[in-house]
A and B are shown apart, each in its own frame.
Chain A
Amino acid sequence: MKDSPLRILVVDDEDTIRLNLEAFLEDENCLVRSADNVADALKELASHPFDAGIIDIRLPDRDGNTLILEAHRMHPEMKFIIHTGSAGYTLPEPLAAIGITSKQVFVKPVGDMNLLIEAIRGFGGRG
């Protein structure tokens, strides 16, 4: 793990959230790239490999669910954390079908970002 740092894509249109996640993950020795909309995220996905993505659901152009499905097609090994502001979020069928569970859903505010990185590292251990 120490040899190859985790490559993480952060997608959130809320600047503060995005910048905080970036800072935290960098402090955790991850390689972080970020986007604030689906189109830019897809560009990142097309040009870089990622181990995991922390994805907001409500985004200005398209929704995070679609982005995750698209990303999964491009990088089948990529894992996802859903980081949403909506307490009523329920996992859509297609996301469940690609193996995403409610343990990967985090409702904002996540005051302790360790929870996110622990979840991501959990994937690593499994893989």
Chain B
Amino acid sequence: MNFFKRTIPLIIAFIMGIMMAFQYYVPHEASQSLLKVVTRWGITIAGFAVFIGAYSLFHLHWNKIKRKVPGWGYSNFVFFGAGITVIFGLYNGGEFFLHDKQEGTMFDWMYFNVQVPAGATMFSILAFFMASAAYRTFRARTSEATILLVAAVIVMLGRVPVGALIWEFLPPIADWIMSVPNMAAKRGILIGVSIGAIATSLRIIFGIERAYLGGGD
């Protein structure tokens, strides 16, 4: 059993890892075709995996309804929302699923008038969370916190029109902070992340890192 659960996945990871790493350096048409085929396979497999996700979601919420755990009423909305989305999606404005997706149907209405506003609402909460995080964080308790506070105030003021009204040099200083020390830190992190990603990829390709397969060695 270990052969199918461990050895074969490791062999596949090794072959595909080496192949796709070298594919980057080969501009020939055959290499580009290989990349297209592999990408399409990945999309196809991901498409099948949607059923696994849907099963997990429905199974979890069905159990909550069955056991009447606290908050089980909200789980009904999962089935209600999924149900009417599937119904209107299959109805397809009267053309049903045998034809291409139609525009301006109830399916589109639900997406643009329910899901998009709900997502935008969640996104808009960010502004308030930023304010509360800033209130907690921008305290001059240590020297590093003081530098953070001063830099944050300069950048925030320098990015809005009133900053130029307060002091004409605020926007250029804010730009300098963003384009010099901030950019240096960002690039430093990126260099470390890139090297770490290559090392992690090599560990996975050569089968040294196997925790993603589950269990011990």
Partners in one complex: no
Residues of A within 8 A of B (CB): none
Residues of B within 8 A of A (CB): none
